[in-house]
Amino acid sequence: MPGKNLSREEAQQRAEAIGVESYRVHLDVTSAPDPAAATFRSTTTVVFRCAAPGTDTFADLLAPRVHAVTLNGRALDPAVVFDGVRVTLPGLAAHNELTVVADCAYSRTGEGLHRFVDPADDETYLYTHFEPADARRVFANFEQPDLKAPFTVSVTAPAAWDVYANAVHEEITADGAARTWRFAPTKPISTYLTAVVAGPYHVARDHYSRELPDGGVLEIPLAATCRRSLAPHFDPDEIFTVTKQGLDFFHQEFDYPYPFGKYDQCFVPEYNIGAMENPGCVTFREEYVFRSKVTEAAYEGRANVVLHEMAHMWFGDLVTMKWWDDLWLKESFADYMGSLSQNEATKYRAVWITFANRRKAWAYRQDQFPTTHPITADIRDLEDAKLNFDGITYAKGASVLKQLVAYVGREPFLAGARQYFRRHAYGNTRLADLLEALETTSGRDLTAWAAAWLQTSGVNVLTPQVTVDAEGRITELAIVQDGSVPRPHRVAVGLFDRDADGGLVRTARIELDVTGTRTVVAEAAGRPRPALVLVNDDDLTYCKVRFDEGSLETLRTSLGEIRDDLARALAWSAVWNLTRDGLMPARDYLGLVLRFGGGESDIGVLQSLHLQAKAALDLYADPAWRAAGGRLLAEGAVRELRAAEPGSDHQLAWARFVAVAADGPEQLQLVRGLLEGTARIDGLDVDQELRWTLWLALAAGGAAEGPEIERELQRDNTASGRRQLVQCLAARPTPEAKAAAWSAVVDSDELPNALVEAEIAGFAQAGRRDLTAGFTAPYFAVLEKIWEQRSIEIAMRIVGGFFPRHQTEPAVLAATDEWLDGHPAAAPALRRLVTECRDDLARALRAQECDRV
């Protein structure tokens, strides 16, 4: 196994051998503004114990050069002990001190210490991202979550910069053109949770206070930062409001004071993920600083991320999983608690609708891959860990926790969390530790529950069976459970009938436990046959929902008439799953969206419908009908845009969808007219972000030339503008554009992560499949080379992004199988990604068969 891919067994052996007492880390990043400077100086001193003196171990470090290694006062030859990945530490004493001086590399991939130069003002910005194991790109350490220690960090940076880290700064000293920031020691934390953010960031400050039960007062300084050029768009007051609401909620429910002193939230450029829960210094992707008008769903989504990361301060930072097998112990809880706190403590009350319609769609998709895994996964090494930040670990786990709360009760669940924090503060845990706490507070034996829900994989399907008598009354309503492992479900069954206005309203709600393969809903007997039976009303459990034929017919004619927003969202989710599973023709799903989408009141659901409708057309529709379906979708989008309330979120969503769905000269003419001001839609503000969306439509439709798209950069010479331009140029339907995008990503590693993503997105536009068909063979030819030579973050994007998913032909499926069969020794993580792409392609072919008439 390559040294940089640390295995679980190696981590276990090292944890048995050593215990870390402290780190002192100094970084000198004064070279950062010089574009020719590739590295920065890193000096680390680690104090640690050894249980078996005389044995050897290793420290982790990914660095171009090591200048010095000193172990217990003894100089070790870097040429002997450092192999580019690990530092061998021979002959340990009972108590050890290791110092490593190295030149570490600035990153352009979002891993380690990422360097970004703002095109708007040429200012340089730095930030770190380490999860799961990239702290070793910045300083020497023992890179595994169960070797926690306090960190004392200092950073020497250009004098005009500010520096942020996990703890408060204690001292700033000036030395000519540089300043050195010295931070207080942290509480014991894992290496992947350490953080440094440095640069001329714009900062807003606030403060949070709370009286504690013992009579004391908890004081938490708050800060929110972004790049200076984004400051005019920054809305820190809204961020601080959600932050304070979250701190109130978590202090009330967890009864454990926030443990990390101050609370900085840094919005940083070219970030690979949504956010990272570094204690005291949370980092977010700066796309959450909205440059143009966005819908309420975007603000709701940002608030959810803020609260998700805050929940991690307890679930993940205070108490951390021992190894990545139990990654869910932090991510599932943060996902659930983020949604719960948002629903109960903020103004955003549609969060469970979004959770049911969008978040769980991610989980259902992931859980149906042949590579699915239990929530408590078998994580053999760091590559496995990287791939397990997925829909199962986050959304399925959170869904199962929502089910657990329904099963044991809210208060016993939260009381178990409180006990868990008190018992394991600053430590590491496994699943058994959490179950012990929950069993104590709930009085329930959770062994069988955990075995069914946490230690098995796959999604169950719940289908109602309804029989009625001659008078139309229910003689039996039963729920049939399919799936490899029948699970216990606490569900609500909703019965819906029409009111005087023709709307579908809930006439009864029956809550019960579903067990085994068939469960009778005894309370339904004798009731009139309803128009709609909705299993999993209120979305209490994690399952796919099916319908009896009468209910399905009701949805075909009246889905949009369901008055309850969450119930309607569940119905939309269910018909989407039917479409993905090849049980509902894609054209029927598109028909539902065209018929009822315009009346959908929840903006988040509407935006999900737009994404899913486009996917249904591109992947699941019969290719012979795709052109006709595209015209219907494009015409429907224009119709709904013109009908939407002026200035509303719905109008903006439909305007964006017109650009996505534009299918012919008429729609492209409207798009250009909106750009040039010759066409107007009352109330629609064609701001900068919408302009780029319209340019992308013209580029992909072959209705815009490169030079005129490039001129748009004169209006928006920003990081976002450059990304948008790259995507537009790659989206053009010409062989040259596709070849240039492929070459920029595959033949060179010069592009930063954000532009890699933009090139791939433009290349993969679904319109002209003939132009990308010729890249199928080259794709399979370069897979192993890409995996070996690129960082895992970039390699994952290339493998998933360039897979020929729009070449929905049996020959491409066969080529994928041929690669998998011919490369049994390829890295398991690479094989997993290709296998999942293969499964998506096979699903598309099955759905197309369903759509053929």
**Tokens representing residue 409 in the block:** 């009760």
What are phi and psi for residue 407, nearest 5 degrees?
-80, -45
Strand (E) or helix (H) holding 246: helix 236-254
> 155 vs 113, 271, 307, 660, CA distance in Å?
13, 22, 29, 46
Q: How many residues does the chain have?
A: 853
- Whether residue 174 contacts residue 159, with contact meaning beta carbons closer than 8 Å, is answered with yes
**Tokens representing residue 706 in the block:** 């490169």
H helices of 790-827, where?
Answer: 792-801, 810-822
* Of 656, 545, 672, residue with least CA distance to 610: 656
* CB-based burial, 645-671: b 16+ in 10 Å, e otherwise: eeeebbbbbbbbbbbbbbbeeebbebb
- Whether residue 169 contacts residue 154, with contact meaning beta carbons closer than 8 Å, is answered with no
**Tokens representing residue 726 in the block:** 């790259």
Which amino acids are annotated catalytic? 309
**Tokens representing residue 599 in the block:** 């009346």
CA gap 339, 764 in Å, rounded: 33
CA gap 27, 122 in Å, rounded: 23
In SS3 terms, 1-56 reads as CCCCCCEHHHHHHHHHHEEEEEEEEEEECCCCCCCCCCEEEEEEEEEEEECCCCCC
- Across 176-308, the runs of DSSP E, i.e. the strands, are 178-183, 196-199, 202-211, 217-226, 263-268, 275-276, 281-285
Strand (E) or helix (H) holding 293: none
H helices of 313-409, where?
Answer: 328-345, 351-354, 360-367, 382-387, 397-408
Total Cβ atoms within 10 A of residue 471: 7
CA gap 57, 91 in Å, rounded: 9
> Cα angle vertex 783, ends 778, 784, to 5°?
130
* Of 355, 286, 269, 346, residue with least CA distance to 310: 346
Strands 504-514 and 544-545: unpaired
Sequence-separated (6 or more) residues with CB below 8 Å from residue 623: 808, 848
Look at the alpha carbons of 239, 240, 242, 243 in this order and tell me if their dihedral is positive or negative.
Answer: positive
Integer-rounded Cα Rg, in Å, for the chain is 28
Is the bond leading into 132 cis (omega within 30 degrees of zero)? yes
Biggest alpha carbon–alpha carbon distance for the chain: 93
* Of 511, 516, 561, 513, residue with least CA distance to 538: 511
* Of 652, 736, 789, residue with least CA distance to 296: 652
60 beta partners: 86, 141
